[in-house]
Amino acid sequence: MSDAAQVPLILASASPRRLALLQQIGVDPRHLIPADLDETPLRGESPRALATRLARSKARAVREQANGQPELADCVVLAADTVVAVGRRILPKAETIDQAEACLGLLSGRGHRVYTGLAVALPGGSLRHKIVETRVRFKKLSRQEGDDYLASGEWRGKAGGYAIQGLAGAFVVKLTGSYPNVVGLPLYETASLLSGAGIDVRALWRDPLRLPA
């Protein structure tokens, strides 16, 4: 059971990492409704544009679902999408060991960028969004380090084939920007968007039983 105050919020994600990050700042969404969308990049689409488009599309899709259900109609919808890129090359969410190995080869010894698109859809239909960028540099990985990480299986389903909050944190030599952004949800920007949508995060800290008006 979370100590966070439950608020009329739908998190449009099945990610346990995003839920844990929200709860870290005292926000416990009333509902979890992941959006099932094709996340394939469009031809020529930049990493920043992809993260923004997918976050907005997820928020709109779940907003449409919520509008058709009276018990969800008053909820704010929060959606996010995280993209890892080396230059303009978008790295996949690794599902096979070959994909993960290719990602590690691209990340080893060089910098990359992590973009998270955020979108909030209000009951009235308006939508607000932000894009957050973090720069990360990995050490030059030895063959043994790469093989050991691949053997861990931690890469599976992770954007760019790694989880910074897990074993791969040992590879990071430099990070510029938001750390929780790399995990999957930049907290400062999320709190700002929610406040603009009527969910006063800091008010929840003062009175955990208070619900937004």
At residue 2, the pLDDT reads 53
**81 occurs within a structural domain:** yes
Residue 108 tokens, joined: 């080893």
**201 occurs within a structural domain:** yes
At residue 36, the pLDDT reads 86
Q: Along the 213 residues of the chain, how does pLDDT read in single tens digits?
A: 355 556 899 999 999 999 999 999 999 999 999 998 999 999 999 999 999 999 999 999 999 999 989 999 999 999 999 999 999 999 999 999 999 999 999 999 999 999 999 999 999 889 999 999 999 999 999 999 999 999 999 999 999 999 999 999 999 999 999 999 999 999 999 999 999 999 999 888 886 555 444
At residue 211, the pLDDT reads 47
**161 occurs within a structural domain:** yes
Number of domains making up the chain:
1
* CATH number for the domain harbouring residue 184: 3.90.950.10
**213 occurs within a structural domain:** no
**50 occurs within a structural domain:** yes
Query: 187-196 and 16-24 helices cross at what angle (nearest 10)?
Result: 70
**Catalytic residue, candidates 36, 38, 81, 98:** 81
Using a 10 angstrom Cβ sphere, with 0-12 exposed, 13-18 middle and 19 or more buried, the burial of residue 137 is middle
Residues 6+ apart with CB under 8 A from 93: 39, 157, 158, 159
Q: Would residue 3 show up in a list of annotated catalytic residues for this protein? A: no
For 15, the domain range is: 5-206
The neighbour count for residue 207, using CB atoms within 10 Å, is 9
pTM equals 0.92
